[in-house]
């Protein structure tokens, strides 16, 4: 019985880790404004399904300078937003 419980716990853990790895979802948007000094970007975006947020225009923090360098005002992008230290942050762009 103990080995079954250990197996079940390991299975749940594996599924949780695997689903977390696929939880990031790219969302389409348009870059409206970039604030390099504050490391923020204003995006007009489609629905953020993973955050249950409707389409709108809003300001996001940007994870690092490499992502900021990929952004140009007026450009159409696909991006990932995650909560980092409680703040909505762009963590990937393509």
Q: Please choose, from the candidates 25, 1, 19, the residue with its C-alpha nearest in 3D space to the C-alpha of residue 11.
A: 19
For residues 66 and 4, which has the higher predicted lDDT (pLDDT)?
A: 66
- Give me the domains of the chain, ranges plus CATH numbers: 25-93 (2.40.50.320)
Across residues 11-23, what is the average pLDDT?
46
Q: How far apart are CA 41 and CA 7, in angstroms?
A: 45
pLDDT for 4: 47
Residue 15 clears pLDDT 70, i.e. is over it: no
Q: How far apart are CA 54 and CA 92, in angstroms?
A: 20
pLDDT for 43: 98
Angstrom distances, CA of residue 44 to CA of 18, 21, 36, 56, 70: 30, 26, 18, 6, 16
Confidence of residue 7 (pLDDT cuts 50, 70, 90): very low
Confidence of residue 78 (pLDDT cuts 50, 70, 90): very high
Structure tokens at 66: 């490499």
pLDDT in tens, 24-76: 799 999 999 999 999 999 999 999 998 999 999 999 999 999 999 999 999 99
Structure tokens at 6: 């250990």
């Amino acid at each position: 019985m103990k080995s079954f419980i250990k197996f079940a716990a390991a299975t749940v853990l594996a599924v949780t880790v695997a689903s977390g790895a696929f939880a990031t979802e790219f969302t389409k948007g348009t870059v409206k404004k970039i604030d390099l000094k504050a490391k923020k970007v204003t995006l007009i975006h489609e629905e953020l399904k993973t955050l249950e947020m409707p389409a709108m225009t809003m300001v996001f923090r940007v994870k690092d300078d490499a992502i900021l360098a990929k952004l140009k005002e007026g450009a159409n992008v696909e991006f990932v937003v995650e909560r980092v230290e409680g703040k909505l942050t762009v963590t990937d762009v393509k």
